[in-house]
Amino acid sequence: MNSTNEQRLVALGQQVTPAWLEDQIHSAILKIEKNMLRFGEQFPSACATDGVYRLKPNDDWTNGFWTGMLWLAYEWTGDSKFRQLAKTNLDSFQDRLDRHFVLDHHDIGFLYSLSAVAGHQLTREEAYRKQVLQAADVLMARFQTRGNFIQAWGKMGDAKEYRLIIDSLINLPLLFRASQLSGDSRYREVAQKHYQTLLHTVIKPDATTYHTYYFDPQTGEPSHGATHQGNSDNSIWARGQSWGVLGIPLNQHYLDTPYPVIYPQLVTVFLDHLPADLIPYWDFDFTDEKPSEKDSSALAIAACGLLEAAKQKAYPEAKQLAKGMIYQLGTLYTTQDLQNEGVLLHGVYAHSEGKGIDEPNLWGDYFYLEALMRLQNPDWKNYW
Ligand code: GLY
């Protein structure tokens, strides 16, 4: 352990007791209970406005997070009302697949790991196994053999969109699961190819990360990094770095290939850029001397990453560091005020687009609760 931030996080982590975790989980579940009465069979928007989610159909990359929270609440409480609504949502996810509705992007894992994979894991229903495979086929169709990567967005082959993004690390576990559930190794092979391409492009030699990386559509040669939601092409977007902290262990879980040697350095970059309250600014261009809004969701994601990394012994004191992060989020960035529908306050969605600035967002809510689950029950089997 080398930095002051690490020492402070480890010290804060000592405040996390089973009773504290229980309390945090209880408060989060009260919110889910209240929110589900209003949300019904609709879905909450990606981010809140003044702490309230807009209701909409199942048409965004974020719809899995709400369903994932329902599965977590069901696992924690055993109350069938959470399972019932999650299952109703899965009907909507099936309909979305059947109509191929807003699925021309790579975020199929965010959508279907937290809905269908979780549903199958918890109920063993055959329909959900099929849903996992149908979703994995949609993701497979975005694989580009020229460059060996899954194209993030847009029309396939379009030169302006011939790129991958670091967030896609979280979409790959769906493919590993699909191979396990079908016995078909093609899913796993594509996941491995994309993973290797991503490691060798978006992660720079100093372990900072690009958000996205372009390839030449004619030759497939790696071309250049660029941002989509960061402050600039060369800045470190906090959530991008945290997708790396989480995504590498999630993928290594399925692999017997050597751990990327750069992983500890990638984690250290994240930790070293935390400001005084240890909650990251949305981009590491910003500091306490030159502040902007915080992105609490990046810290919740990093905490889940460190808890997965701890199982793989991939970073010293990973579990204690994650505990410190969750303690800081729980004490400073949550509220018991049920009028605010967010479990985790003060995130940033897309700053340059003015979206979800200083507001709760669904992935912050989800990963905060996932981290609590991981801490309270180390045997918990995740949905990725
Ligand atoms: N995956 C998109 C985001 O993190 O905002």
Q: Is the CB of 241 under 6 A from ligand 1?
A: no
Q: What is the DSSP letter of 184?
A: -
Ligand 1 centre distance from Cα of residue 110 (Å):
10
Q: Is residue 99 part of a domain?
A: yes
Max CA distance (Å), the chain: 58
Pocket test for ligand 1, best of 363, 366, 367 (most atoms within 8 A of CB): 363
Ligand 1 touching residue 75 (CB < 6 A) = no
Q: What is the pTM of this model?
A: 0.98
Range of the domain at 340: 4-376
Domain assignment present for residue 381? The answer is no
User: Looking at ligand 1, which residue's alpha carbon is closest to its atom 2?
Assistant: 167
| pLDDT value of position 226 | 98
Is residue 7 within 8 Å of 1, Cβ to Cβ? yes
Set 59, 95, 104, 107: catalytic member: 107
Rounded-to-integer distance, Cα 285 and Cα 343, Å? 27
Dihedral angle over CA of 199, 204, 210, 215, nearest 10: -60
**Which residue, among 278, 330, 324, 326, has the nearest Cα to 301 in the 3D structure?**
326
Structure tokens belonging to residue 206: 């100093």
Buried b (16+ CB within 10 A) or exposed e, 203-234: beeebbbbbbbbbebeebebbebbbbbbbeee
Beta strand 52-56 pairing with 222-226: unpaired
In the reported structure, the alpha carbon of residue 380 is separated from the centroid of ligand 1 by a whole-number distance in angstroms of 25
Centre of ligand 1 from the C-alpha of residue 329, in Å: 20
Evaluate whether residue 327 is within a structural domain. Answer: yes
CATH of residue 36: 1.50.10.10
pLDDT at 255: 98
User: What residue ranges in 40-100 does DSSP mark as E strands?
Assistant: 43-49, 52-56
CA-nearest of 32, 21, 59, 115 to 342 is 32
Catalytic: 167?
Answer: yes
pLDDT tens-digit profile, the chain (384 residues):
469 999 999 999 999 999 999 999 999 999 999 999 999 999 999 999 999 999 999 999 999 999 999 999 999 999 999 999 999 999 999 999 999 999 999 999 999 999 999 999 999 999 999 999 999 999 999 999 999 999 999 999 999 999 999 999 999 999 999 999 999 999 999 999 999 999 999 999 999 999 999 999 999 999 999 999 999 999 999 999 999 999 999 999 999 999 999 999 999 999 999 999 999 999 999 999 999 999 999 999 999 999 999 999 999 999 999 999 999 999 999 999 999 999 999 999 999 999 999 999 999 999 999 999 999 999 999 999
Q: How many domains is the chain built from?
A: 1
Binding site membership of 229 for ligand 1 (Cβ less than 6 Å): yes
Check if the beta carbon of residue 384 is closer than 8 Å to that of residue 113.
yes
Pocket of ligand 1 contains residue 87 by CB under 6 Å = no
Contacts of 19 (CB under 8 A, 6+ apart): none
Among 45, 60, 62, 167, which is best to mutate for testing ligand 1, by the most ligand atoms less than 8 A from CB?
167
Residue 176 lies in a domain: yes
Atom of ligand 1 nearest to the CA of 110: 1
Residue 270 falls inside a structural domain: yes
User: What is the structure's pLDDT at 115?
Assistant: 98
| Domain annotation covers residue 384 | no
